Structure 1
């Protein structure tokens, strides 16, 4: 069965990684900027995020069955009030979008992700980037590295829960 898992590191500079679990197990990743543009209202960032999700879903639907699951970094502490507001708005937009499209979603705590890819739950940004490079990726920044780390964590969880023989 082909599964497309979208992993997101939500923020103004959103990191994303998409795994297509076909015979090649292809992973695509990058970042998408949702910084408010000049003369935009406060809600435009979220409308652009929603449009981007829909475009990404359309791209995967052309090659497979669309997005099967969305996972996101579950952040419990933010550097500033502004970053907390942006995260909350993106999370609300994401979960509403997933509900609308009937796509399962779940958050994975940051410490769980870091522990899986580096061996320690309080790893630095540089350590996560290094771990993703060791896995054969070339992340452009810590946002993309975080999304890739999240994706690797979820893929490992899926491998550990599959019954013998790989049949779900």
Structure 2
């Protein structure tokens, strides 16, 4: 039996890729944009509930990898990322799921050969591996999953 791995590109539009214990890979994006009349923490509660739904749908997660971002386009993006990261790590700790952040350059270098590859190059590399990502968020999650499968002996 294969380990179940969840790979996440955290953000308001979170890209995700999951390899289940049968080796089947699914992926997509989930949107956590703040809604008009909800408080600031509600997006993170919706994210936490979504994580639990994913975990339940595949009978548990053996390990989780997330894209570790060091630079953000704006202060708002940095704050959102911090909130998603705090929610994610607390959720993983609560459920006893090992987690690891992987630097963006490491992921890009693995799938494209270049640590500074652009969004289009990552998408093309993921398509060449037989996937059809809807956007760069899903492509990033699939790239991270490929890195985890190829380098982490899982």
Q: Which residue of 2 aligns with 1:41?
A: 39
Gap regions ≥5 residues in structure 2: none
Q: Which residue of 2 aligns with 1:166?
A: none
Q: Which residue of 1 aligns with 2:18?
A: 18
Aligned length in residues: 154
Q: Residues of 2 paired with 1:134 and 1:21: CA distance?
A: 24
The structure having more radius of gyration, on CA atoms, is: 1
Q: Which residue of 2 aligns with 1:30?
A: 28
Gap regions ≥5 residues in structure 1: 163-168
Q: Which residue of 1 aligns with 2:56?
A: 58
Q: Residues of 1 paired with 2:110 and 2:54: CA distance?
A: 27
**CA deviation profile, 1:116-167 (whole Å, cap 9, x unmatched):** 00000000000000000000000000000000000000100124xx7xxxxx
**Residue 92 of structure 1 aligns to a residue in which SS?**
helix
Deviation at 1:3, TM superposition (A): 1.0
TM-score (norm 1): 0.89
RMSD between aligned residues:
1.0
**Equivalent of residue 141 in structure 1, options 135, 138, 149:** 135
Deviation at 1:41, TM superposition (A): 0.4
**Equivalent of residue 92 in structure 1, options 82, 86, 89:** 86
Point out 4+ residue stretches in structure 1 off by more than 6 angstroms. Answer: none
**CA deviation profile, 1:20-39 (whole Å, cap 9, x unmatched):** 243xx210000000000110
